[in-house]
Amino acid sequence: MTDPVISLRDAALSLNGNAGRVDILRAITLDVAAGETLGLVGPSGSGKSSLLMLIGGLERATGGSIHMMGQDLTALDEDQLARLRLQYMGVVFQSFHLIPTMTALENVATPLELAGHRDAFARAEEELHAVGLSHRTGHYPAQMSGGEQQRVALARASAPRPKILLADEPTGNLDGSNGAAITDLLFDLRDRHAATLVLVTHSNTLAARCDRVIRLRDGQIDQNLKAAE
Amino acid sequence: MSLRLAARLARRELRGGIRGFRIFLACLALGVAAIAAVGTVRASIEAGLEQEGAALLGGDAELDFTYRFATPEERAWMRDNASDVSEIVDFRSMAVAERDGQTERGLTQVKSVDDAYPLVGAVGLSPDMTLEAALAGKNGRPGAVMDQLLIDRMALNVGDEFALGTQQYILMAALLAEPDGAAGGFGLGPRTIVATQSLAQSGLLAPGSLYSSKYRLLLPPDVDISALEDQAKARFENSGLRWSDARNGAPGVAEFVDRLGAFLVLVGLSGLAVGGVGVSAAVRAYLAGKTSVIATLRTLGADRATLFQTYFIQVGALSLFGIAIGLVLGGAIPVLLAPLIESRLPIPAVFTLYPAPLMEAAIYGVLTALIFTLWPLARIGEVRAATLFRDALSGAKLLPPFRYLAIIALGLATLIVLAGWFSGTWRLTLWTAGGIAAALLILSVAAGAVRWCARRGGRALRNRPVFRWALSAIGGTGEGAVSVVLSLGLGLSVLATVGQIDGNLRNAISGQLPEVAPSYFFVDIQKDQMEGYAARLEDDPSVRRVESAPMLRGVITGINGQPARDIAGDHWVLQGDRGVTYSDQPPNNTRITDGAWWPQDYTGPPQVSFAAEEAQEMGLKLGDMLTINILGRDITATISSFREVDFSTAGIGFILSMNPAALSGAPHTFISTVYAAPEAEAAILRDLSTRYPNITAIRVRDAIDRVADLMAGLAAATSYGAAATLLTGFLVLIGAAAAGEGARTYEAAILKTLGASRGRILRSFALRSAILGAAAGAVALVAGIAGGWAVSAYVMDTSFTVIWPSALSIIIGGVCATLLASLAFAMRSLSARPAHILRAKE
């Protein structure tokens, strides 16, 4: 394997809740190579989404180390993590998480504006065109269907041409046909930008399209499989 | 479905607690508390005035005469009906003291008394002694007691001598408490008390001098005061007698307290309107959070009526709770602070709980809650089961069904009618209601305009993400922007209006007036002194102008043979006595607006020229017959002309001017104004006072300062009322910030995920607050200027200039208030971990 773009060593995540300390993730060691597509599968509560959040710097590890593009995420503060995401990552969520007060175009343009692109809106229009939403640029999230919202979210994640795409059950809230369309779009984007893709899914079909699949159980890596297996 | 079911559902819903209703409760409680507190203080003072009526008046009843003492017949009537009688004389004079070769002069309001004074209460002196002993004086000199303020001003010590007119007095004590001090109303100088008999050689009570004599009566316990009043009026009213009694011992004070109280209640109502905006926003936010519950209940078969009743009962119960908190606070705070308030009041007050003002505040609270909650509650019916997990209210119609609008309109009309009825000032109530409605309308339009501009601006401001996010947030969600602009805007509008009125009034009184006003008013100049008086001033190059006129005082008792009050009501011209002059030609700078001045040397039946504006207000027309009681004699004169009288320059202005033949035979004095260079004022006063000790000089600048002090007190009271309104506005602001916290936290989480730093997000949050605050401030600025102008132009009749420091501080205040409220909540939004927030939304 060439130098991994994502590398976790004994990464752990524990949360203190009302019921006491809960270990969400334990001793996760994992490398993801550039251009690889990694699927994270496992039963509900196994820690898939938490692992994705750790990789994205959206959650702080309580143990071990996480390196992304050579940088130790555990040593970065909130703003440094935000800058790292801006530079390298796009994230897609199951619930889309579009900003409700912004139109589709504005949502997509936001990361480009943050990165200081002068042509943010022109590029955002291109991205929306690429996901088939040229006609919805001026619409607010509440005025769009779930499938459309997820396409806007995909466009937003891919607009800055990220080296790493993180997707948390991107088809989880969609019906079969919308889900398939989003899956095609997601893989198409990965191919277009030669990005590394890490996705959490319950879908066997989606997992089958990954280069590698990791199965989690009780916060630990249970199996590390090639997709074909 | 039954109301009982709705009540059961409401009870279950309320089990969740009142967390989302804190601002709702605070808004209602604060508005109701402010009104209840003002009402309680007013009722306490009114009770104090009633209870202490006899002490304030100085007796059970008082007969007041202008310019003269009671006739033997009148004295006999008093003796026959009263168990005790005391005579006092009230007039202005100059106290003059020689000290180390320097002459100190001070204007004083003199009260000369007989041995029976005071019939009720006691005079407090320092050093402690009886008034009788003090006035007896020592070493053959009569004694006097003087207000500490005047003692200090004239640098006197107890034991020093001073003169009133040509009579020397010895200062025996400082006057600490005067039992009937509050009833006298506004005096231009501090009080001096002397014995009436000591004034015989003073030259101050010469015929025509301006004084009033008051006869205080102690009545036997079984006397029917009302019947006695009728008897006195029937027998002596044509003699110019004025009657007061202990049922209303300080009528001027009582009326002032009543008016000020009514005005402050109306200011309180504007606070309640601001609170109403918060109440409405809180109900909207609560119902938005309950959308899924409502949709679920619909799925289960609940009809619109049941759902409406369920939430109406909840909101109604919470409203009553909020109103109850307000009543407890508004009733208890004045009682708890009674010692503090009493120490600052110059009049007695009986602090306890009064049901009437609490009832009034409760009614206002209930109506406000109804008016402001019905609109959002009416929209419950629009939630469909099919929209269970959608933004159910976003596509709702703009207006609720007609029946709800009709109830809201009815509630509003009832509120205005009740406010007018309770305050007794219909015109002011309607102006206030109109002002609040206009301000709310302008603010609603402004809120819409801000949102529209924000949407447009957001699209235009590409590549400036901080600005664009702020504008998107303002343009994208209605509730936050509308609530903030409405509530803060209305609160700031009230404060801005008060600021502009206060500033213009101060300008008019302390700024412009001294420039156009004379330096001195000289009163009580005897006819034979006029020549010497004029000669002294004519030779002085520093004197720009001198205006002199004969002056008598008279009471207008009849119009066309009818009692004057039956024709012209309670117009101020009829309240008490007015100055009357005579002249054979119209004064300079006077314009006759209608009719004609009498010819020179006219000796026919009396004619009178009346001030045009006041005549119009009183409904007088040319040819009307006025009966004016002067020195106990009725003179009936025909109105032969109307003329403009400008009272705003503090020059000589008489409502009534008569032909010389009608009055010149009556004993009278002259009044004169002197316009002189400030550096010459002292010399003029010294020369004239020394030469004519009976003349009283009123330095206009001092009088203006006294009025300005009084106005400052009124402005302070009004500002407290406006501050309560602003505080309510700030609460609504906090409510809006709290309601938006979840949305901002979510937005911050997404923006962080997309790579935004906390600093950028914070700047965006701050910017949106500043924009909304500035919008609210800008509207308040316009409303304040418009309101200030309207009051200046139509109520106070003064010129208007924008008081920019006050106006700009309103905008800055608006920006700071919104920034403060929003940033206080932004910190939590910024510190939340994105993963927690985003996953919670999954």
| Residue A65 clears pLDDT 90, i.e. is over it | yes
B189 closest CA partner among B123, B91, B67, B113: B91
Q: Using a CB-CB distance cutoff of 8 angstroms, which residues of chain B are in contact with residue A49? A: 839, 842
Q: What are phi and psi of B538, to 5 degrees?
A: -60, -35
Average pLDDT over residues A57-67: 90
DSSP type of residue B141: B
Q: In a 10 Å sphere around its CB, with 0-12 CB exposed, 13-18 middle and 19+ buried, how is residue B31 labelled? A: buried
- Asked whether A84 and A71 are in contact (CB, 8 A), the reply is yes
Is the CB of A79 less than 8 angstroms away from the CB of B750? no
CB contact under 8 A, B751 and A118: no
Burial A30-46 (b: 16+ CB within 10 A, else e): bebbbebbbbbbbeeeb
A79 contacts B463? CB cut-off 8 A = no
Give the chain A residue whose CA is nearest to the CA of B469: A102
Which of A79, A97, A120 is nearest residue B463 as measured by Cβ atoms? Answer: A120
Closest CB to A82 among B472, B476, B755: B755
CB hemisphere CA count around B363 (13 angstroms): 18
User: Which amino acid does the sequence have at A43?
Assistant: P
Contact B841 A86 (CB under 8 A): no
pLDDT of residue B249: 66
From chain A, the residues in CB contact with B747 under 8 A are: 99, 101
Residue A184's SS3 state is helix
B774: Cβ–Cβ under 8 A, 6 or more apart, which residues? B811, B814, B815
Q: HSE-up of B263 (CA within 13 Å, CB side)? A: 15
- pLDDT value at position B391? 44
CA-based nearest residue in chain A for residue B747 = A99
Give which of B753, B762, B763, B837 to mutate to test A binding, by max A Cβ within 10 Å.
B753
pLDDT of residue A64: 94
The pLDDT value given to residue B647: 67
C-beta of residue A150 within 8 angstroms of C-beta of residue A170: yes
What residues 740-779 of chain B have any CB closer than 8 A to a CB of chain A? Answer: 743, 746-747, 749-760
Give dist(CA B760, CA B465) in Å, integer: 9
pLDDT digit string (tens) for B43-100? 888 888 888 777 777 888 888 887 788 888 889 999 988 889 999 998 888 888 887 7
Selecting from B391, B743, B747 the residue whose C-beta is nearest the C-beta of A142 gives B391
The secondary structure of B785-838 as a DSSP string is HHHHHHIIIIII-------HHHHHHHHHHHHHHHHHHHHHHHHHHHHS-HHHHH
Question: Which chain A residues have a beta carbon less than 8 Å from that of B834?
Answer: 58
Kindly state the DSSP code that residue B27 receives in the 8-state scheme.
Answer: H
Of B462, B753, B758, Cβ closest to residue A79 = B758
Q: What is the ipTM of this complex?
A: 0.73
B484: amino acid identity, one letter: V
- B464 CB neighbours in chain A (<8 A) are 113
Contact list, B754 vs chain A (CB under 8 Å): 85-86, 110-111, 114, 156
Q: What is the pLDDT of residue B187?
A: 63
Percentage with pLDDT > 90 across chain B: 17
Total number of residues shown for chain A = 229
Higher pLDDT, B665 or B239: B665
Considering only alpha carbons, which residue of chain A is nearest residue B750? A97
3-state secondary structure of A94: coil
Contact A82 B757 (CB under 8 A): yes
What pLDDT does residue B392 have? 40
- Cβ pair A102:B391 closer than 8 A: no
User: Looking at residue B477, what is its pLDDT?
Assistant: 59
Find the closest chain B residue to A87 by CA distance. B755
Decide if A78 and B469 are in contact by the 8 Å CB cutoff: no
3-state secondary structure of B448: helix
Average pLDDT value for chain A: 87
Q: Which two tokens stand for residue B166?
A: 């040509």
Interface of A to B at Cβ within 8 Å reads 49-50, 53, 56, 58-60, 78-79, 82-83, 85-87, 91, 93-95, 97-102, 106, 109-111, 113-118, 120-121, 140, 142, 156
Q: Which of A216-225, B240-249, B649-658, B795-804 has the highest mean pLDDT?
A: A216-225
User: How many angstroms separate the CA atoms of B357 and B555, rounded?
Assistant: 37
Enumerate residues 6+ apart whose C-beta is below 8 A from B835. Answer: A50, A53, A58, A59
The closest CB to that of A83, out of B475, B743, B757, belongs to B757
> Cβ–Cβ contacts within 10 Å for residue B556, how many?
24
Q: Are strands B161-164 and B84-99 parallel, antiparallel or unpaired?
A: antiparallel
- How does strand B61-66 pair with strand B242-245? antiparallel
Cis peptide before B118 (omega within 30 of 0): yes
C-beta atoms of B750 and A98 within 8 A = yes
pLDDT in tens, B455-469: 887 777 777 888 888
What integer pLDDT is reported at residue A124 of this predicted model? 93
- CB spacing of B462 vs A94 below 8 angstroms: no
Contacts of B753 in chain A (CB under 8 A): 56, 58, 85, 91, 97
Confidence label for B281 from pLDDT (cuts 50, 70 and 90): confident
Q: Which of B100, B204, B214 is nearest to B157 (CA)?
A: B100
A80 CA: distance to closest CA in chain B (Å): 8
CA distance B387 to chain A (A): 12
More confidently predicted of B756 and B682: B756
Of the candidates A59, A110, A118, the beta carbon closest to that of B835 is on A59
Give per-residue burial for B321-344: e unless 16+ CB within 10 Å, then b: bbbbbbbbbbbebbbeebeebbee
pLDDT digits (tens, 9 = 90+) for A38-51: 999 999 889 998 89
Interface contact flag, B473 A101, Cβ < 8 Å: yes
Q: Please tell me the predicted confidence (pLDDT) of residue B782.
A: 86
Q: Which residues are within 8 A (CB) of B412 and not within 5 positions of it... i.e. 6 or more apart?
A: B371
- Chain segment A120-172, per-residue pLDDT in tens: 889 999 999 988 899 999 898 888 888 899 999 999 999 989 999 999 988 88
B380 vs B88: which has the higher pLDDT: B88
Q: Which pLDDT tens digit goes with each residue over B802-831?
A: 888 888 887 788 788 888 888 888 888 888
- Cβ within 8 Å, pair B458-A106: yes
Contact between residue B485 and residue B447 where contact means Cβ atoms under 8 Å apart: yes
- Measure the CA–CA gap between B701 and B684, rounded to whole angstroms: 15
Residue of B nearest to A119 (CA): B463
- Residue B650 in contact with residue B517, Cβ under 8 Å? yes
Structure tokens at B617: 């207000």
Residue appearing with tokens 């920019």 = B804
Out of A53, A82, A106, closest to residue B835 by CB: A53
* DSSP structure class, residue B144: E
What are the start-end ranges of the H helices in A56-135? 78-88, 104-114, 120-130
What is the amino acid identity at position B781? L
Interface test with B, best of A15, A66, A99 (most B CBs within 10 A): A99
In the predicted structure, residue B389 carries a pLDDT above the cut 50: no
* Residues in chain B, overall count: 842
Q: In terms of CA atoms, which chain B residue is nearest residue A60?
A: B833
**CB pair distance less than 8 Å for B838 and A113:** no
pLDDT band at B395 (very low <50, low <70, confident <90, very high): very low
**DSSP-derived secondary structure for B626-639:** EEEEETTEEEEEEE
| Cβ under 8 Å to A: B residues 388-447 | 390-391, 394
The terminus-to-terminus CA distance of chain B in angstroms comes to: 36
| Residues forming a β-bridge with B99 | B102
Question: Which two structure tokens, joined as six digits, stand for B726?
Answer: 């602003």
Q: Is B359 helix (H, G, I), strand (E, B) or coil?
A: helix
Q: Is B531 exposed, middle or buried (0-12, 13-18, 19+ CB in 10 A)?
A: exposed
Confidence at residue B332, expressed as pLDDT on a 0 to 100 scale: 94
Query: d(Cα B52, Cα B179) in Å, to the nearest integer?
Result: 10
CA distance linking residue A99 with residue B529, whole number of Å: 88
A106 to B757: CB separation less than 8 angstroms, yes or no: no
Q: And the tokens for B338?
A: 């009674």
In 3D space, the residue among A117, A94, A98, A119 whose CA is nearest the CA of residue A108 turns out to be A98
Q: Specify the residue for token string 């406006």.
A: B722
* Distance, CA of B493 to CA of B790 (rounded, Å): 14
Which of A132, A141, A135 has the alpha carbon at shortest distance from A110?
A141
pLDDT higher than threshold 80 for residue B291: no
Any A CB within 8 A of B461 CB: no
- How far, in Å, CA of A217 to CA of B786, rounded? 70
pLDDT (average), residues B675-701: 82
| B contacts of A78 (beta carbons < 8 Å) | 752, 757-758
Q: Dihedral, CA atoms, B587, B592, B595, B600, nearest 10 degrees?
A: 20
> Tokens in use for B689?
């006072």
Nearest residue of A to residue B759, measured between CA atoms: A79
Closest-CA distance, B736 to chain A, in angstroms, reads: 16
Contact pairs from chain A to chain B, CB under 8 Å: 99
Question: Nearest Cβ partner of B754 from A60, A110, A117?
Answer: A110
- Tell whether the model's pLDDT for residue B754 goes beyond 90: no
Task: For B477, name the nearest residue in chain A, comparing CA atoms only.
Answer: A101
Instruction: Give the chain B residue whose CA is nearest to the CA of A55.
Output: B835
Phi, psi of B513 (to 5 degrees): -60, -45
Q: Which residue from A59, A116, A142 is facing B394, i.e. has the nearest CB?
A: A142
